[in-house]
A and B are shown apart, each in its own frame.
Chain A
């Protein structure tokens, strides 16, 4: 299924490091990812995988002093934002990307009424709009009772706060919404409501979404395509139905088993052995190799190029179990740039 719509976000082999006193931490090791207009994409990873760093890099939210994009490009709607300074980010009005976070409380002003915060967001984005009416529309859009415009953040429940933060984000009329673990702090029933709301909003507004999560179940219910990230590298990506139907990378396979609490014939729960990697070390080969049950000699030596899997041009993996062919490399290029 070739994508017909143009990309709203493109990350091209992005390498990002943090300088810490303990040394350099390679948070992103050549991560590539594409989100097309109107598309819902999941970015799945565990803690320390670099998934939040990636999201923050898109909005220039990583600390300017300690983080650096060493290589690669980030394009938003075709515009290169890789080297924007803090000041240039602030000047970038009408930015087509907005973000919501796991903990809305740290992004809502505790002493300002919800309605006022939405209004400020509108004024920043489009000062000429009739603000009051627009606030009402947005509150209705995220399905909050209109009376809550006069409430303060601490008076709201966790789910309502997430809706309020969504309204603030939507005030900028984003073409891409990045949602970083938006439901992790919520109960399952509230989580289901927020996910339904996100689906609904995307349909109504034709907005693309990049959903960052550790929970494969959420991706299954909310995303069309997904990327699996580990130690700052994307190991596998493709249409959700393809990846879920036939996960290829041993890490993805392990994740699926673990998430389902699957058991083997002896009644043992599926595990991924070992510990997540130390990002301070220079990883030459595949970062998952030390934990991989199918690791081979090649794995420690180098990271393979992507290979497109047989089931159409919608599912690719970087793993020596699936050696890249010449044809598939060109196919990957098409898949990324389409």
Chain B
């Protein structure tokens, strides 16, 4: 009987229920606020007061103080300024890689799931190969061979991450293509590619959105790791790079490692929680 009770609900109920499920996931709301803050700071970075993060000065290896809230490094560069400027790199890499991986994954997964057969077999085998290879090692090798650069890092991360999206998309598309409303549209004489694009894919995107958010987190972590190994261009201010130069002084200048490390940790955690929250919100079976 609970079903028929839900049917008495007013029209906008489904949307609101989605919102409510999202809000009920407290950690997700906190994470969303944090991510929003990051984005705002990144956008405002050029207008913020404070020293250029590349600016060398005489005040080397200073512990956190009022003049330098998070201290300075061995060349006298301000750590806080570095972390703020690093947001841009992390978010750019994260969003660009996730977007690229999601687009590739959606297209390939949808085609494989809808048309099946040899195409499906081929795509899924390729996806498996990407998934069994340890992604970090592969990324490191590719970047080491082809040279550093933000675009290369993004490309490599996207190439490594699309199979997750493709698998998810394939499953959803396979489920939805068997539903009656797709058959009904087929009986209207609509062509198959149009059915796939206008009927099936829009209904399959919800879980992919959650997965895409998780990929942002993976990408940020991977970029940091590559930078940490020195596999990114030297003139970029990035958290991984700061961590790389800081770790040599871990015992006499802890702030050089702890602050960039925390930035990475918090940001990756936030995107993971956000992805979870989106997943929960989009799943109508979870009760808030």
Contact = CB atoms under 8 A, between A and B. Distances in A.
Is there a contact between chains A and B in the complex with CB atoms less than 8 Å apart? yes
Contacts of A50: 1
Given A20-B9, A22-B9, A48-B7, A53 B1 contact: yes
Contacts of B20: 21
Nearest to A56: B1
Contact of A27 (B1, B7, B13): B1
B152 interface: no
Interface string B5-47: 1111110010011001000000000000000000000000000
Contacts of A21: 9, 13, 16-17, 20
Interface string A3-35: 000000000000000101110010100000000
Interface string A182-213: 00000000000000000000000000000000
B4 A47 contact: yes
Contacts of A47: 4
Given A27-B1, A52-B1, A56-B1, A280 B17 contact: no
Nearest to B16: A21
A278 interface: yes
A172 interface: no
A48 B7 CA distance: 9
B5 A20 contact: yes
A279 B17 contact: no
B148 to A, nearest CB: 53
Contacts, number: 34
Contacts of A18: 2, 5
A-side interface size class:
10 to 19
A278 B4 CA distance: 10
- Contact residues of A: prevailing secondary structure: loop
Of B5, B7, B16, most A-chain CB atoms within 10 Å? B5
A20 B16 CA distance: 13
B5 A27 contact: yes
B4 A280 contact: no
A47 B10 CA distance: 18
Contacts of A27: 1, 5
Interface string B48-84: 0000000000000000000000000000000000000
B17 A25 contact: no
B5 A25 contact: yes
B5 A279 contact: yes
A37 B181 CA distance: 49
Interface string A92-122: 0000000000000000000000000000000
Interface of B: 1-2, 4-10, 13, 16-17, 20
Given A18-B5, A47-B4, A56-B1, 19 more contacts: A20-B6, A20-B8, A20-B9, A21-B13, A21-B16, A21-B20, A22-B8, A22-B9, A22-B10, A22-B13, A25-B5, A27-B5, A48-B1, A48-B4, A48-B5, A48-B8, A63-B2, A279-B5, A280-B8
